[in-house]
Structure 1
Amino acid sequence: MGKTIQTALASFGMSGMVFHGPSLKANPNFNVHSILERTKNQSIKDYPQARIVRSFEELIHQPEVDLVIINTPDRFHYPMCKQALEAGKHVIVEKPFTQTVNQANELIQLAQKHNRLLSVYQNRRWDNDFLTVKKILNEGMLGRLVEFESHFDRYRNFIQEGTWKEAGDKRHGVLFNLGSHLLDQVVQLFGLPKSLTAHLDILRTSGEVNDYFDIRMQYPDFAAILKSSYLVREPGPRFSLHGTLGSFHKWGIDPQEELLKAGHLPNEAHWGTEPKAYWGQLNTEWNGLNIKGTIETLPGNYNSYYENIYDVLTNGAELAVKPEESRDVIQLLDYCLQSHEEKRTIFL
């Protein structure tokens, strides 16, 4: 039996309850050793074996802890990552990695100096729809790609009370929240673009942070369009791809988040699968024949992220989500802000 990774959660909000905690519980190679709850004891029900600590300093200075997960509000990512790395811990941090590129570079150098793992939780690389799109592109089902469009829309026509995500500066809001996922997915597929043009907006009455974005990333032969809005009651396709031979449309959102919210664990049978009604529609040409029909969606699996983390820590495997990649996403988010403020296209 291999080493068990003793893991500490820096908070027990939505991210800890829904994403990290269940993945750790489902993976026998990890143990939730301790959880930071400054005043409450909510984690006792699901993690009775875990120690509840009241300060981050206490959390990171426990000698038994191997890995610290920084799943706190964005503004705390940089200082807490820095403290944990300096304490000799391996670190996973929620997206967005940091608030600036300089902060990201400093943390990357610090992890290298202390020979510690540093990774960003880009779980939506394992969304079922993204994995399916990746397969379609890799197999050339559409011919040469000419346009790629990705939406991550919600319907929330009110300002949610009591959350840091609804207040703050330009680095709070849907761009740094959901935009971190969409930009990461596009960079995984295509690398960095030649240019980028972005428009941001606040659509909801009394809103303080951006709740809409429209980003156009130009590549040598095609454009990648990324959009998100909090005022989409009837969503269109999640993905729309067009090529010289055909098109692919995919509706619906990966079901894993809702399953996790409902208390399911990612080691259950048929995890990450979805009903046939949500399978994508393909219309293309293959070996001279017109092919039109549904494409079965590949199963999603957020637990793949932690399986890779374990392989890195115990077997020296290659890290799936490298901090340099997430640093590049922060740079692209900065370019989006610059493009919007200056009303111009940014050339990389």
Structure 2
Amino acid sequence: MQPARKINVGLIGFGMAGQVFHAPTISAVDGLRLLKVTARRPDQQELLATRYPDATGVTAAEEIIHADDIDLIVIATSNDVHYALAKAALSAGKHVVVEKPFTNTSAEADELIALARRHNRLLSVYHNARWNSDYLTIKKIIAGGRLGELVSFEARYDRFRNTLKENAWREMNLPGSGILYDLGAHLIDQSLQLFGIPEAINADLRMQRPGAQAVDDFELILHYPQLKVTLKSSMLVKEPSPRYALYGLQGAFVKYGIDPQEAALKAGASPLGDPEWGKEPEAIWGKLNVLEDGADHIAYVESERGDYPAFYRNVCDAVRGRAALAVTATAARNVIRIIELAEQSWREKRTIVLDNEKLLDC
């Protein structure tokens, strides 16, 4: 049997997201070929030629969208053009992956989902945090049942940068800017995967740094029948809090530290052929403390292995008809809708009940 032809990938956007998250993980998947990349600046062109010599650099997104030899387009641009580029790529008959957050509004997401269905193309969103070592670990802890019924789930995704980054679109007063759309999209997606659609939501959104134009601190509370989910993020956390804290009727699991993959990718490492890829150091393993048989049992739990390339392995298999998409566009659309409801909650200073929301396919 002849091996399957590799799926040719066009990457639109070779800034931080394209260089750090997408190009290395695409290149680590055997069934994908990084064929064309938009590289407008000389430094981008030099980096592309050094790290991915088999890929062709182009200067315009249209050179990828309308290329006959491209099967899958990955959009790793600023949020303001996700919708327009995804619409153009789907209309050109390409399969599409969009960097998170999917779109700036749920209405835009709905339009893209309908367009993908009309053209019978796959549409996914890069919610790579589903393959973080820490998240995979808490999934295992919850599934194991040793905490008993979960009553409180707390998750944080913090940074410390007490000054604004000059000319950074994420920190400007623009649609889709701020950490609620950035880091919050990860936390919301993880929570929807774990617990489904909440009954209600309330939010506290703030701009805390001098001169801030976009949200740089948030707290969301998602209400479930027997569970309180608290999601927090701030740009002013110098001393870290637990990344995750899970409290159940039988005990707790508390986890500090963060998955090592992002730092490794930013340092120029590649997951390709690295047997230690995604492995957390023992120093940040989570602590399990449960009451069993009338006695306390305390243990540090080895973290699961992180695996960002798993996202693109799944996309490759889905394009070939071998698997269902792990990250559906509908699930990513739900994240955007939860963000919209959080903004409404803060604007109106009230808890928003989701009675009439059609949020499915988590």
Q: Which aligned pairs between 1:212-223 and structure 2 lie closer than 5 A?
A: 212-223=217-228
What is the aligned partner in structure 2 of residue 186 from structure 1? 191
Q: Does 1:173 align with 2:178?
A: yes
Contact 1:214 1:227 in 2 (8 A): yes
TM-score with structure 2 length normalisation? 0.94
How many Å separate the matches in 2 of 1:287 and 1:74?
Answer: 52
What is the aligned partner in structure 2 of residue 31 from structure 1? 33
What is the aligned partner in structure 1 of residue 307 from structure 2? 301
Quote the offset at 1:146 in angstroms: 0.6
User: Residue by residue, what CA displacement relative to the aligned partner does 1:184-203 show, whole Å, maximum 9, x if unpaired?
Assistant: 00000000100000000011
Contact 1:170 1:209 in 2 (8 A): no
Gaps (5+ residues) in structure 2?
A: 355-362
Match among 84, 91, 109 for residue 86 of structure 1: 91
Q: Does 1:257 align with 2:251?
A: no
How many Å separate the matches in 1 of 2:67 and 2:202?
Answer: 46
How many Å separate the matches in 2 of 1:288 and 1:5?
Answer: 56
What is the aligned partner in structure 2 of residue 270 from structure 1? 276
Quote the offset at 1:314 in angstroms: 1.4
Match among 218, 224, 238 for residue 229 of structure 2: 224
Quote the offset at 1:174 in angstroms: 0.5
Quote the offset at 1:38 in angstroms: 2.9
How many Å separate the matches in 2 of 1:303 and 1:289?
Answer: 41
Contact 1:283 1:293 in 2 (8 A): yes
Contact 1:3 1:314 in 2 (8 A): no
What is the aligned partner in structure 2 of residue 15 from structure 1? 17
Contact 1:247 1:282 in 2 (8 A): yes
Match among 118, 122, 132 for residue 123 of structure 2: 118
Quote the offset at 1:286 in angstroms: 3.3
> Amino acid of the residue matched to residue 10 of structure 1?
I
Q: Which runs of 4+ in 1 moved over 3 A?
A: 286-289
What is the aligned partner in structure 2 of residue 138 from structure 1? 143
Quote the offset at 1:59 in angstroms: 1.4
How many Å separate the matches in 2 of 1:347 and 1:170?
Answer: 24
Match among 107, 110, 114 for residue 112 of structure 2: 107
Taking every aligned residue pair, what percent have the same amino acid on both sides? 45
How many Å separate the matches in 1 of 2:110 and 2:122?
Answer: 14
What is the aligned partner in structure 2 of residue 324 from structure 1? 330
User: Residue by residue, what CA displacement relative to the aligned partner does 1:19-57 show, whole Å, maximum 9, x if unpaired?
Assistant: 111111222211111011234323111111111112111
User: Residue by residue, what CA displacement relative to the aligned partner does 1:52-96 show, whole Å, maximum 9, x if unpaired?
Assistant: 112111111110000000110001000000000001100000011
Judging changes above 3 Å, is the alpha-carbon distance between structure 1 residues 13 and 294 closer, same or farther for their aligned structure 2 residues? same
The alignment partner of 1:45 has SS state of helix
What is the aligned partner in structure 2 of residue 48 from structure 1? 53
Gaps (5+ residues) in structure 1?
A: none
Match among 229, 252, 267 for residue 247 of structure 1: 252
What is the aligned partner in structure 1 of residue 358 from structure 2? none
> Amino acid of the residue matched to residue 155 of structure 1?
F
Contact 2:157 2:183 in 1 (8 A): yes
Quote the offset at 1:301 in angstroms: 0.4
Judging changes above 3 Å, is the alpha-carbon distance between structure 1 residues 55 and 170 closer, same or farther for their aligned structure 2 residues? closer
What is the aligned partner in structure 1 of residue 359 from structure 2? none
Quote the offset at 1:161 in angstroms: 1.1
> Amino acid of the residue matched to residue 83 of structure 1?
A
Contact 2:154 2:230 in 1 (8 A): yes
How many Å separate the matches in 2 of 1:38 and 1:18?
Answer: 17
Quote the offset at 1:6 in angstroms: 0.4
The alignment partner of 1:175 has SS state of coil
> Amino acid of the residue matched to residue 270 of structure 1?
E
Q: Which aligned pairs between 1:197-208 and structure 2 lie closer than 5 A?
A: 197-208=202-213
What is the aligned partner in structure 1 of residue 162 from structure 2? 157
Q: CA-atom RMSD, angstroms?
A: 1.1
The alignment partner of 2:320 has SS state of helix
Quote the offset at 1:285 in angstroms: 2.3
**Greater alpha carbon shift after TM alignment, 275-284 vs 23-32:** 23-32
How many Å separate the matches in 1 of 2:269 and 2:41?
Answer: 27
**Greater alpha carbon shift after TM alignment, 163-172 vs 186-195:** 163-172
How many Å separate the matches in 2 of 1:196 and 1:332?
Answer: 8
How many Å separate the matches in 1 of 2:39 and 2:9?
Answer: 15
How many Å separate the matches in 1 of 2:49 and 2:175?
Answer: 36
What is the aligned partner in structure 1 of residue 69 from structure 2? 64
Contact 1:280 1:295 in 2 (8 A): yes
**Greater alpha carbon shift after TM alignment, 36-45 vs 24-33:** 36-45
Contact 1:148 1:241 in 2 (8 A): yes
How many Å separate the matches in 2 of 1:286 and 1:67?
Answer: 50
Match among 196, 209, 212 for residue 214 of structure 2: 209
> Amino acid of the residue matched to residue 146 of structure 2?
M
> Amino acid of the residue matched to residue 105 of structure 1?
D
User: Residue by residue, what CA displacement relative to the aligned partner does 1:86-127 show, whole Å, maximum 9, x if unpaired?
Assistant: 011000000110111111011001101111010000000000
How many Å separate the matches in 2 of 1:8 and 1:259?
Answer: 24
Aligned length: 348
User: Residue by residue, what CA displacement relative to the aligned partner does 1:138-166 show, whole Å, maximum 9, x if unpaired?
Assistant: 11110000100000011101101121111
How many Å separate the matches in 2 of 1:170 and 1:106?
Answer: 17
